[in-house]
Structures are given as structure tokens and as C-alpha cells.
């Protein structure tokens, strides 16, 4: 059976723990590979390699580091089809979604190609008599990223792209459910010209995660996953003196005003709620129609739209989405659907009975629609992370605005309307970190930054863009004076600008 190894100091390294995780083919339910799960000593070896590599890499001028990013971008584009096939084979998302996963990560690499510009710092000439003040951004040293199963290409590139471009070395701990693409990304980074040890991949479970959080040479940790684990990562990492950004769960809402273009809304909801089997932290699993007439018409149209969706294997070009990542996750989604029924929500479309001929053991679940969901229901309060759309009816704009604002998660929200004033007010007042106006999945472009509020994010710095540069660097400010002639007596007070 194929074994997925660690990637340390520029080479494949077999695991020594004797512990392995199974890698499934979600389309068939069969085990297709196994991945080594690291010990703390294997993490130590990766960090040692990263420490050795980082000094010279940080001393490499930003333009040369940018050239590596340009070449990495070219290699990703040249290998796009192969990477997408690898990704779909382990995750289950359809090829088009896998290419989107890679492309959105690649956009951050494109931003990283311009890293010399954003590292220029600031300069003030003549801040005082003969005194100049300037600042520079310097890398932290060794950074680490702990990434989830749902975006095995995009999220690693969001993290290591910026971290490496600014001069750090990096330890990546990807999900043990789909680790092949992250390893291939590290190989391509070496092919692009990054020195051995600049990007290392260590597979593992909680043992590896805790080793990362406790290691004194790792200066910063970025995480994406569930909120409970994000809170744990943030607490333990910051207690160890690290800089930490930990992105958690989400329950994104889509508010539909009576004047919205329902034809477009239904198409947007279908893709945002059911695309990639709903396994996205920026999926849109809750729709809030305002007014009874809007809700009734939206429900009718969604039922018709769901009937057109095709669930298939990940390589089927006609499939709108494929299987979920594991049998355990499929069962979790099914349990949430049953919970919704028990709580009194109306199950309009039930996807639990879906089976694909010839792939009966695959991890498939059909699109599911609930109506008359209320804010007190546990299924509304928690993240389901599957192809389940819940309708929560609101009587007024204010009621609709209050729902995402009061929810424990604050990742993303969308409003659908033709009324510019209503959209503007909603965007200004809603208590959520990322807002879409007639955009169902408001993931910002790479030169802006990604980050939610409330229990969707722990830490004060967002991912990628200039926020990412700030996270992976520290500012040094220099105040300089070059006196002429004889030295004056030493001053024992802080100099002023007078």
C-alpha cells in the first residue's frame, strides 16, 4: 500500500512512530494509502532543518525570494491537472472545485511575488535636528501552519506563501485525511529554487500539533479548523509566547430582501450551500428570506433547483458535487439532519437516502433543505459542514440583520437586494467579519485579507494580504543621527524633536 511520508530538509522521510492514518478514496470508501503520524522527535528534526535554512533565506534579498515565488507559480500552473486529480482522489470534491482550491491558493502566491514592494518600510528624513527615523520589517524565524482537510492546497498556500516570501522558513502540518497535495506543493517549492529546509511537511495528529505549539523555536502558528480546536490552539500557543492566528468555524447567513433577483439568488444559494458538498467554512448554509411571500417563493424555487443537482464521483464532469471526506463525517451530517427533524424543523428535502449506483460504499449524501428553522435550535447554532441548507424566516430587515449579528460565529454573511441604501446599512451594521453584497461567498481577493469575528477567529491578524505580511514579520524602527565635528557630552535624557 502506498505510504505518504514526511518531507523534511528537502527530502522524503519515512515515519518512525509506527502509527499511521488511513487515507480513503471517498468515491469508493476504500483505503487507498496510509500516512505516517509524527512523533515529537520528528517535529524536532523538521524544526532543526528550518532553523538552519532560515538564516540564509532571510539574508536572500526580497527580489530573489520573489523569483522563487514566480517559478513556484509557474510550476503550479504547469501541474494543475495532476494536482487537481490528486486532490479529488483524497478529498472527494469534483475536479472543477479542486482546480478552484488550487487557483485561490495560487492567487496568494501571485501576491507574494510582489513581496519586495510591501517590505520597503517607512522613512522620515529630518525627524529632528540631523535625525532620521526609518523602519523595516524582518522575518520572525520559523513559522508553522496547521491546515484542515477541506482545502488541502489553498489554505497551505495562504500560509506558507506569505511566510516564506518575507524570509521565514515553514513547518506545515496538513490534515491527515488528504496529505498528498501538501507534500507535492513542498516538492514543487524546492524545484522552484527554495533551499532545503525552507518548507517542511510533517504529518500527524494531536501529538504533532502539541509539539508545534510547545516548540520554543517556532515563533508563529497559523491554524484553520473548528472553533473549539482554534480556541485550544490560540490559548496553548500564546501561552508559549507565540504569535497565533486561529480561524474557526462558521455559520454564514444569506439575507434575501423582497426586491432581490430570485433567479440569481437561487443559483447563488445552490452553489454556495451545496458546492464542494458544503465542506467550506465560507459555505452559505443559512438563508434568511425577509417576509412570508419572499420565503414561500424562495422555498419553492429552491426545491426545483435541488432537483436539478447531480451528485457524482469526483471525476464526473457533470457532477455538481461529490462525496464528503469520510464515512464518519457523512454520519455526523446525517445525525444533524435527524436532530433537525427532532427539533421540529420541517425537512423539505432529505438527502440521507442518496446512493450512487456502482459506488454504494462511497461517502455520498444528497442535498438537504430545511424550512422553519428557528434560532433556538441546536442545528442552527452549530456548524453542520455538509450539503444542508436551512431556511430561517424573518419578518423584517431588522430581524434579519440581528440573526447573523447575534450568532456565535461571524465568518461571512451575504445580502441579496437591489436597494443600495439597504445593502450599505447592512454592511455597516452587521456583526460579521466578511460581507458579500449580492456575492454569496465573500472570500476577499488575495491582496485583501481573510478573517472572521467572534468564535470564527482567535487572534488579531487576518490571513494573507498585508495582514498576512504583518503576521509573519516584526517591525524594527531605527532613529539615527550622524554628528559632525567634536562629540558633545553624553546626554542622559531621551532626545526630543525640539
Q: pLDDT digits over 243-279, tens only?
A: 999 999 999 999 999 999 999 999 999 999 999 999 9
What residue ranges define each of the domains in the chain, with the CATH number in brackets?
Answer: 2-248+456-478 (3.40.605.10), 253-437 (3.40.309.10)
Residue 43 grid cell: 517535529
| Residue 113 is among the residues annotated as catalytic for this protein | no
Residue tagged active-site, from 281, 333, 345, 469:
281
Q: By percentage, how much of the chain surpasses pLDDT 70?
A: 97
Distance CA 225, CA 62 (A): 31
Please identify which residue in the block is written with the cell numbers 516584526: 474
Residue 464 grid cell: 494573507
CB 21 within 8 A of CB 205: yes
Residue 379 grid cell: 442545528
Name which of 249, 225, 357, 275 is nearest 93 in CA terms. 275
Mean pLDDT estimate for the chain: 96
Q: How many CB atoms lie within 10 A of CB 150?
A: 25
Distance CA 316, CA 332 (A): 25
Q: pLDDT digits over 299-345, tens only?
A: 999 999 999 999 999 999 999 999 999 999 999 999 999 999 999 99
* Entry pTM: 0.94
Return the percent helix, strand and coil in the chain, to nearest 5.
Answer: 40, 25, 40
Distance CA 426, CA 195 (A): 48
Rounded to an integer, the average pLDDT of 368-384 is: 98
pLDDT of amino acid 157: 98
Q: pLDDT digits over 107-116, tens only?
A: 999 999 999 9
User: What sign for the dihedral angle of Cα 28, 30, 32, 35?
Assistant: positive
Eight-state DSSP code of residue 248: -
CB 224 within 8 A of CB 282: no
Amino acid at each position: 500500500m502506498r505510504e505518504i511520508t514526511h518531507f523534511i530538509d528537502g527530502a522524503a522521510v519515512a515515519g518512525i512512530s509506527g502509527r499511521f492514518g488511513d487515507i480513503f478514496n471517498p468515491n469508493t470508501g476504500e483505503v487507498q494509502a496510509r500516512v505516517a503520524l509524527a512523533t515529537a522527535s520528528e517535529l524536532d528534526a523538521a524544526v532543526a532543518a528550518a532553523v538552519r535554512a532560515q538564516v540564509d533565506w532571510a539574508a536572500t534579498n526580497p527580489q530573489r525570494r520573489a523569483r522563487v515565488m514566480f517559478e513556484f507559480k509557474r510550476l503550479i500552473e504547469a501541474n494543475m491537472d495532476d494536482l487537481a486529480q490528486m486532490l479529488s482522489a483524497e478529498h472527494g470534491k469534483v475536479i472543477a472545485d479542486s482546480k478552484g482550491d488550487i487557483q485561490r491558493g495560487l492567487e496568494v502566491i501571485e501576491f507574494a511575488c510582489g513581496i519586495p514592494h510591501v517590505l520597503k518600510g517607512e522613512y522620515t528624513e529630518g525627524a529632528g535636528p540631523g535625525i532620521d527615523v526609518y523602519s523595516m520589517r524582518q522575518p520572525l524565524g520559523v513559522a508553522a501552519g496547521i491546515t484542515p482537510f477541506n482545502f488541502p492546497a489553498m489554505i497551505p498556500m495562504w500560509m506558507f506563501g506569505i511566510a516564506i516570501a518575507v524570509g521565514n522558513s515553514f513547518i506545515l502540518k496538513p490534515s491527515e485525511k488528504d496529505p498528498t497535495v501538501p507534500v507535492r506543493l513542498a516538492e514543487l517549492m524546492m524545484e522552484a529554487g527554495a533551499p532545503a529546509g525552507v518548507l517542511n511537511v510533517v504529518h500527524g495528529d494531536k501529538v504533532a500539533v502539541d509539539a508545534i505549539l510547545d516548540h520554543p523555536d517556532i515563533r508563529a502558528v497559523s491554524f484553520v479548523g473548528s472553533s473549539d480546536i482554534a480556541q485550544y490552539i490560540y490559548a496553548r500557543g500564546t501561552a508559549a509566547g507565540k504569535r497565533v492566528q486561529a480561524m474557526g468555524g462558521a455559520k454564514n447567513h444569506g439575507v434575501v430582501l423582497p426586491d432581490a433577483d430570485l433567479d440569481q439568488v437561487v443559483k447563488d444559494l445552490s452553489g454556495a450551500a451545496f458546492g464542494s458538498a458544503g465542506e467550506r467554512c465560507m459555505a452559505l448554509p443559512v438563508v434568511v428570506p425577509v417576509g412570508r411571500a419572499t420565503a414561500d417563493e424562495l422555498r419553492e424555487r429552491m426545491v426545483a433547483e435541488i432537483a436539478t443537482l447531480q451528485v457524482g464521483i469526483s471525476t464526473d464532469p457533470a457532477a455538481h458535487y461529490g462525496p464528503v471526506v469520510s464515512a464518519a463525517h457523512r454520519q455526523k451530517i446525517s445525525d444533524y439532519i435527524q436532530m433537525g427533524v427532532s427539533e421540529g424543523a420541517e425537512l423539505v428535502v432529505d438527502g440521507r437516502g442518496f446512493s450512487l449506483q456502482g459506488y454504494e460504499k462511497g461517502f455520498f449524501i444528497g442535498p438537504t433543505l430545511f424550512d422553519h428553522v428557528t434560532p433556538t435550535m441546536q442545528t442552527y447554532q452549530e456548524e453542520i459542514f455538509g450539503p444542508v441548507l436551512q431556511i430561517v424566516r424573518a419578518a423584517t430587515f431588522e430581524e434579519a440583520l440581528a440573526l447573523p449579528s447575534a450568532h456565535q460565529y461571524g465568518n461571512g454573511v451575504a445580502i441579496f437586494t437591489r436597494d443600495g441604501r439597504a445593502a450599505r446599512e447592512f454592511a455597516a451594521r452587521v456583526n460579521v467579519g466578511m460581507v458579500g453584497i449580492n456575492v454569496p461567498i465573500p472570500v476577499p481577493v488575495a491582496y485583501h485579507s481573510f478573517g472572521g469575528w467572534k468564535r470564527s477567529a482567535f487572534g488579531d491578524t487576518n490571513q494573507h494580504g498585508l495582514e498576512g505580511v504583518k503576521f509573519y514579520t516584526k517591525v524594527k524602527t531605527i532613529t539615527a543621527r550622524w554628528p559632525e565635528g567634536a562629540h558633545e557630552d553624553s546626554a542622559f535624557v531621551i532626545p526630543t524633536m525640539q
